[in-house]
A and B are shown apart, each in its own frame.
Chain A
Amino acid sequence: MTPAPLPEPSDQALVAAYRQGDQRAASELVRRHGPAVARFLYSSGALAADIEDLVQETLFRAFRGLERWRGEASFRSWLFTIAGNLARDAFRRRKGREVISLEDRDLPDRADPDAELAAGELEDRLRAELGRLPRLQREVFLLRAQEGTSYEEIARALGTTPGAARVHYHHAVKRLKELVG
């Protein structure tokens, strides 16, 4: 009989281990949350070439300010808050420049190039429109649509109420729905 796999340590346990000097805990936190932060940043309009640096900066700031994370919101939501601030700063710095270009995406080979092109165009328009949404609408929408986060969790992460988060989400959906046929 094979032993049952050990349960994965919680984020809180990993953070505690890291603060005790366990570097493997930091690696695990990066592995666990880095891709989601990257998705959030990319969907918010960050350039593909900047994603790695922005994710690293997000995690760096998080580790530097760990004492500010009380555990009320999930570690990931807290990272999204930091990433949201970074994305906004990055957007301000390059304001006026083209945000999204086709070269930013690596298009995988697909059987139907027309369908692929149409899907790529939709994603480009979606990213562009997401970048134009008010900040809270964009962050609530991405947390909800892309990560499946509950309104309660979103509210804790973004410092608002679940009801307000729901309203932001529906405003975003109403605006973004125009993009899809």
Chain B
Amino acid sequence: MSGCTRLSDRMPEVVHGRSRWTADEAAHLAACAECRRELALLQATVTLGRRTPRLGDAERMAATIERRLTGIRTRRIGVQRVAGLAAAATLLLAVWTKWPERPVANPAGPSRPAAPALVPLPELELLDPAELDSLLQRMEQPSVGGSTLDAPGLGDLEDTELEQVLATWEG
């Protein structure tokens, strides 16, 4: 390692006051214009740093930073909540829209088209109170199997029930 390289490596330490030149280094510096220029450059750079505008109060800056970080954390929690709600809503929508198409073990086979409504709904004003109560109770009961495909068709009705329904339809 040449004298110039060795001196160059030591310069920051000396400029920052952490070390002093040895006699040999001082002699080299006195004789070497390039090393003196490098030293002058480092001193000018340190002086430049000292001219840096002073910062304001550290506690105030730390408090400002913390406020900004708190704002971000709050927004992040809000976004997570909204995302969670959106995901739940999407899931519900998917379940809702797919539910009638759910495959059902039915003797009629999978190719049977979904019936729009298999429970006959007579005009309500034509029913007597007992029939209306009975109908409402049936509507409030949870559907076994969860599908309208499981609801009884006309063929499942007793003769008297069938007559009642037909009579209602015909007025």
Contacts and interface: CB of A to CB of B under 8 A. Distances in A.
A181 B61 CA distance: 40
A26 B66 contact: yes
A63 B53 contact: no
Interface residues of A, number: 44
A46 to B, nearest CB: 9
Interface in A115-166: 119, 122-123, 126-127, 141-142, 144-146, 148-149
Given A38-B53, A64-B69, A177-B38, A27 B45 contact: no
Most chain A CB inside 10 Å of its own CB: which residue of B41, B50, B52: B52
Given A23-B66, A60-B69, A173-B38, A106 B53 contact: yes
A126 B43 CA distance: 12
A59 interface: yes
A181 B37 contact: yes
B42 interface: yes
Contacts of B47: 119, 123
B61 to A, nearest CB: 5
A59 B65 contact: yes
A70 B38 CA distance: 35
A11 interface: no
Contact of B51 (A42, A148, A170): A42
B38 A38 contact: no
A38 B55 contact: yes
Given A27-B62, A30-B62, A43 B45 contact: yes
B37 A64 contact: no
26 contacts: A26-B65, A27-B62, A27-B63, A31-B58, A42-B51, A43-B49, A52-B56, A55-B55, A56-B61, A56-B65, A59-B65, A64-B72, A119-B47, A123-B51, A126-B45, A142-B45, A144-B12, A145-B42, A146-B48, A146-B49, A148-B16, A170-B8, A173-B8, A177-B34, A180-B44, A181-B40
A34 B58 contact: yes
A127 B12 contact: no
A170 B9 CA distance: 10
B59 interface: yes
A51 B53 contact: yes
Contacts of B66: 23, 26, 63
Given A127-B48, A173-B38, A34 B61 contact: yes
A90 interface: no
A35 interface: yes
Nearest to B16: A148
Contacts of B8: 170, 173
A165 B1 CA distance: 17
Contacts of B37: 177, 180-181
